[in-house]
Amino acid sequence: MEYCGEKGRGFMFMGEYHHSLDDKKRLIIPSKLREDLGDYVIVTRGLEDCLFVYSQNAWNDIVNKLKTLPFTKKDARSFTRLFLSGATVCEFDKQGRITLKEPHTNYASLIKDCVIVGVNDRLEIWSKTNWDNYFSNNKESMSDVADHLFEVDL
Protein backbone atom coordinates (compact mmCIF):
# COMPACT_ATOMS: atom_id res chain seq x y z
CA MET A 1 0.00 0.00 0.00
CA GLU A 2 1.17 3.47 -0.73
CA TYR A 3 0.19 5.17 2.49
CA CYS A 4 -0.21 8.80 3.24
CA GLY A 5 -1.37 10.20 6.55
CA GLU A 6 -1.25 9.25 10.18
CA LYS A 7 -1.64 5.60 11.08
CA GLY A 8 -5.27 4.67 11.61
CA ARG A 9 -6.58 7.71 9.71
CA GLY A 10 -6.93 5.97 6.38
CA PHE A 11 -4.90 5.62 3.26
CA MET A 12 -4.77 6.90 -0.22
CA PHE A 13 -3.35 5.49 -3.39
CA MET A 14 -0.46 7.41 -4.88
CA GLY A 15 2.46 6.86 -7.16
CA GLU A 16 3.08 6.05 -10.80
CA TYR A 17 3.73 2.50 -12.03
CA HIS A 18 4.63 1.34 -15.53
CA HIS A 19 3.45 -2.08 -16.72
CA SER A 20 2.51 -3.77 -19.97
CA LEU A 21 -0.76 -5.22 -21.11
CA ASP A 22 -0.22 -8.76 -22.37
CA ASP A 23 -1.82 -10.38 -25.43
CA LYS A 24 -4.79 -11.54 -23.33
CA LYS A 25 -5.40 -7.97 -22.08
CA ARG A 26 -4.11 -8.79 -18.58
CA LEU A 27 -2.43 -6.08 -16.55
CA ILE A 28 -0.53 -6.60 -13.32
CA ILE A 29 -1.51 -4.35 -10.45
CA PRO A 30 1.48 -3.76 -8.14
CA SER A 31 1.29 -5.79 -4.93
CA LYS A 32 1.65 -2.70 -2.73
CA LEU A 33 -1.59 -1.41 -4.28
CA ARG A 34 -3.44 -4.74 -4.29
CA GLU A 35 -3.21 -5.05 -0.50
CA ASP A 36 -5.89 -2.40 -0.03
CA LEU A 37 -8.03 -3.24 -3.03
CA GLY A 38 -9.30 -6.63 -1.84
CA ASP A 39 -9.88 -9.72 -3.98
CA TYR A 40 -11.46 -7.80 -6.83
CA VAL A 41 -11.87 -4.29 -8.18
CA ILE A 42 -14.45 -2.36 -10.15
CA VAL A 43 -13.13 -0.91 -13.40
CA THR A 44 -15.03 1.75 -15.30
CA ARG A 45 -14.54 4.46 -17.87
CA GLY A 46 -12.83 7.41 -16.29
CA LEU A 47 -12.28 10.97 -17.40
CA GLU A 48 -9.62 12.20 -19.85
CA ASP A 49 -9.54 8.81 -21.65
CA CYS A 50 -8.30 6.67 -18.78
CA LEU A 51 -9.90 3.92 -16.69
CA PHE A 52 -10.85 4.33 -13.04
CA VAL A 53 -10.24 1.39 -10.68
CA TYR A 54 -12.00 1.24 -7.32
CA SER A 55 -12.02 -1.09 -4.32
CA GLN A 56 -15.47 -2.33 -3.32
CA ASN A 57 -15.66 0.18 -0.44
CA ALA A 58 -14.63 3.16 -2.58
CA TRP A 59 -17.07 2.03 -5.30
CA ASN A 60 -19.91 1.89 -2.78
CA ASP A 61 -19.09 5.47 -1.76
CA ILE A 62 -19.22 6.61 -5.39
CA VAL A 63 -22.50 4.81 -6.07
CA ASN A 64 -24.04 6.36 -2.95
CA LYS A 65 -23.03 9.83 -4.20
CA LEU A 66 -24.48 9.10 -7.63
CA LYS A 67 -27.78 8.09 -6.00
CA THR A 68 -28.12 11.60 -4.59
CA LEU A 69 -27.99 13.23 -8.04
CA PRO A 70 -31.39 14.37 -9.28
CA PHE A 71 -32.57 12.05 -12.07
CA THR A 72 -34.52 14.97 -13.49
CA LYS A 73 -31.25 16.68 -14.53
CA LYS A 74 -29.96 15.64 -17.94
CA ASP A 75 -26.27 15.94 -16.92
CA ALA A 76 -26.85 13.69 -13.92
CA ARG A 77 -28.59 11.06 -16.05
CA SER A 78 -25.92 11.20 -18.74
CA PHE A 79 -22.97 10.97 -16.39
CA THR A 80 -24.52 8.21 -14.29
CA ARG A 81 -25.50 6.24 -17.40
CA LEU A 82 -22.05 6.45 -19.00
CA PHE A 83 -20.14 5.90 -15.77
CA LEU A 84 -22.14 2.90 -14.53
CA SER A 85 -22.65 1.23 -17.91
CA GLY A 86 -18.88 0.99 -18.26
CA ALA A 87 -18.37 -0.65 -14.87
CA THR A 88 -17.31 -4.25 -14.50
CA VAL A 89 -15.89 -6.40 -11.72
CA CYS A 90 -12.36 -7.71 -12.28
CA GLU A 91 -10.84 -10.38 -10.05
CA PHE A 92 -7.11 -10.75 -9.50
CA ASP A 93 -5.48 -13.89 -10.80
CA LYS A 94 -2.66 -15.65 -8.92
CA GLN A 95 -0.09 -13.32 -10.48
CA GLY A 96 -1.97 -10.20 -9.36
CA ARG A 97 -3.32 -9.37 -12.82
CA ILE A 98 -6.74 -8.18 -13.90
CA THR A 99 -8.17 -8.88 -17.33
CA LEU A 100 -9.52 -5.79 -19.02
CA LYS A 101 -12.49 -6.01 -21.36
CA GLU A 102 -12.22 -4.81 -24.95
CA PRO A 103 -14.55 -1.83 -24.44
CA HIS A 104 -12.20 -0.64 -21.68
CA THR A 105 -9.02 -1.10 -23.69
CA ASN A 106 -10.60 0.64 -26.68
CA TYR A 107 -11.91 3.55 -24.58
CA ALA A 108 -8.52 4.20 -22.95
CA SER A 109 -6.44 3.36 -26.07
CA LEU A 110 -4.63 0.61 -24.16
CA ILE A 111 -2.48 -1.48 -26.47
CA LYS A 112 0.75 -2.40 -24.67
CA ASP A 113 2.49 0.14 -22.42
CA CYS A 114 0.33 1.33 -19.53
CA VAL A 115 0.74 3.67 -16.60
CA ILE A 116 -1.10 2.98 -13.34
CA VAL A 117 -1.52 6.12 -11.27
CA GLY A 118 -2.64 6.25 -7.64
CA VAL A 119 -5.16 9.09 -7.19
CA ASN A 120 -6.45 9.15 -3.61
CA ASP A 121 -9.34 6.65 -3.45
CA ARG A 122 -8.82 5.12 -6.89
CA LEU A 123 -6.27 3.97 -9.41
CA GLU A 124 -6.23 5.25 -12.96
CA ILE A 125 -5.01 3.18 -15.88
CA TRP A 126 -3.63 5.20 -18.78
CA SER A 127 -1.98 4.30 -22.05
CA LYS A 128 1.60 5.51 -21.78
CA THR A 129 1.03 7.82 -24.75
CA ASN A 130 -2.10 9.40 -23.24
CA TRP A 131 -0.39 9.78 -19.84
CA ASP A 132 2.71 11.39 -21.34
CA ASN A 133 0.53 13.81 -23.33
CA TYR A 134 -1.66 14.62 -20.33
CA PHE A 135 1.37 15.21 -18.11
CA SER A 136 3.14 17.37 -20.70
CA ASN A 137 0.05 19.47 -21.32
CA ASN A 138 -0.70 20.05 -17.64
CA LYS A 139 2.59 20.23 -15.73
CA GLU A 140 3.12 23.93 -16.45
CA SER A 141 -0.35 24.91 -15.22
CA MET A 142 -0.12 22.97 -11.93
CA SER A 143 0.79 26.08 -9.94
CA ASP A 144 -2.08 28.11 -11.43
CA VAL A 145 -4.58 25.30 -10.83
CA ALA A 146 -3.43 25.03 -7.21
CA ASP A 147 -3.91 28.79 -6.79
CA HIS A 148 -7.54 28.50 -7.93
CA LEU A 149 -8.35 25.35 -5.98
CA PHE A 150 -6.92 26.55 -2.70
CA GLU A 151 -7.90 30.20 -2.72
CA VAL A 152 -8.58 31.59 0.71
CA ASP A 153 -11.17 34.29 1.23
CA LEU A 154 -9.67 37.15 3.23
Q: Are 99 and 88 in contact (CB under 8 A)?
A: no
The residue-averaged pLDDT of 102-106 equals 97
**pLDDT at 130 > cutoff 60:** yes
Of 33 and 90, the structure prediction assigns the larger pLDDT to 90
Banded model confidence at residue 14, pLDDT cuts 50, 70, 90: very high
The residue-averaged pLDDT of 135-146 equals 84
Neighbours of 127 (CB within 10 A): 21
Strand partners, 117: 16, 124
Neighbours of 83 (CB within 10 A): 17
Banded model confidence at residue 9, pLDDT cuts 50, 70, 90: very low
Q: Choose the most confident range, by mean pLDDT, from 10-14, 128-132, 140-144.
A: 128-132
Reference 43, options 93, 102, 128; nearest CA is 102
Strand partners, 43: 53, 88
**pLDDT at 13 > cutoff 50:** yes
The residue-averaged pLDDT of 102-119 equals 97
Rounded to whole angstroms, the Cα distance separating 130 from 25 reads 18
pTM of the model: 0.87
Q: Are 116 and 125 in contact (CB under 8 A)?
A: yes
What values do phi and psi take at 53, rounded to 5?
A: -125, 125
**pLDDT at 133 > cutoff 60:** yes
The residue-averaged pLDDT of 86-108 equals 96
